[in-house]
DNA sequence: CCTCATAGGTAGTAACGCTATATCGGGCCT
DNA sequence: AGGCCCGATATAGCGTTACTACCTATGAGG
């Protein structure tokens, strides 16, 4: 998949992955890769800054913990994060429908 | 629609709009707006640089003409542009399917 | 011991689309 | 005639975004 294709949609994917429960950064990356059958395989250099950004925006909250003697930063969705995810989903639907249609180059169906 | 959502998918939309026949820049913008019922309404400052970029990449070719005493640059798809459009369509399908699925947070269907 | 997978992170970069602004011709209104 | 809006083209500068390339560290397996 083209690398730059994600632009503007990454946040929603990360939020959706965290919706089912808290995960640490690497687990988010792995979950997304598995759920999409390898189609979306984000480099770690994309995931961690994005999570920091989302945390800074208050959409997720991270906490340091320890598992197997290793420190891990586990993130969970905040209230604002849940709301943002809804918005991302709606926005994606609208966007995807519009692009799919435009790529077909047919007139938009009448909505009376 | 969120402004930055387009990133990475603009080229395909422009190429698709030019598929039905040559158009000048402003007409591309208008056609895209009408075909999507106003959902994709690109600012001219987005359209013109993008067309220049596509021309530089050899995907479209532009020619100056005159209509109503005014100079207009009309673009048409090149061979490479037709090929690129096919690629963009396939890429979009793949991408849209993956994102739609990931946003639902369900396991990817088995593909045996 | 060394490598690999796991895990977290930063710096720097390039691309992309946006805002803002400028220009020009023609038509419309006063 | 003068002023204004619309159609049409264009550029400069900006902020965001995701990427590549690195760095650090630990536990497991060869």
CATH classification of the domain holding B83: 1.10.10.10
Q: Is residue A8 part of a domain?
A: yes
Query: Is the model's pLDDT at B4 over the cut of 60?
Result: yes
What pLDDT sits at residue A111? Answer: 52
Domain interval for residue B57 = 3-87
Chain A residues with CB-CB distance to B under 8 A?
Answer: 1-2, 4-9, 12-13, 16-17, 19-20, 32, 34-37, 39-40, 88-89, 91-92, 94-96, 98-108, 111
| Angstrom distance (rounded) from CA B60 to CA B7 | 20
- Mean pLDDT rounded to a whole number for chain A: 89
Partners of residue B2 in chain A, C-beta under 8 Å: 8, 91, 95
In sequence order, the 6+-apart residues with CB closer than 8 A to the CB of A2 are B8, B91, B95
In a domain, A109, yes or no: no
Instruction: Classify residue A61: in a domain, yes or no.
Output: yes
Is there a domain that residue B102 lies in? no
| Position A64 in a domain | yes
* B5 → chain A, closest CA residue: A8
Give the model confidence (pLDDT) of A57-107 as tens digits.
Answer: 999 999 998 877 788 999 999 999 999 999 999 999 999 999 999 998 655
Give contacts of B6 with chain A, Cβ < 8 Å: 8
Nucleotides of D under 7 A from a protein CB: 7-13, 16-22, 26-28
Give a yes or no: residue B38 inside a domain. Answer: yes
Domain count, chain B: 1
The answer to the question of residue B96 being in a domain is no
Question: Is B60:B8 a contact under the CB 8 Å cutoff?
Answer: no
pLDDT at A3 over 80: no
B110, HSE (Cβ side, Cα atoms, 13 Å): 1
- The answer to whether the CB atoms of A4 and B8 lie below 8 A apart is yes
DSSP A29-86: HHHHHHHTTTSS---HHHHHHHHHHHHHTTSEEEEEEEETTEEEEEEEE-HHHHHHHH
């Amino acid at each position: 998949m083209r690398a730059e294709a994600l632009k503007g949609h990454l946040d929603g994917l990360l939020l959706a992955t965290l919706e089912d429960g808290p995960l640490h950064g690497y687990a988010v990356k792995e979950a997304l890769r598995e759920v999409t059958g390898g189609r979306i395989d984000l480099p770690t250099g994309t995931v961690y800054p994005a999570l920091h950004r989302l945390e800074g925006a208050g959409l997720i909250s991270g906490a340091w913990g320890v598992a197997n003697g290793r420190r891990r930063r586990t993130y969970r969705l905040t209230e604002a994060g849940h709301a943002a995810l809804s918005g991302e989903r709606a926005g994606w639907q609208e966007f995807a429908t519009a692009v799919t249609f435009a790529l077909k180059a047919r007139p938009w169906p009448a909505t009376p």
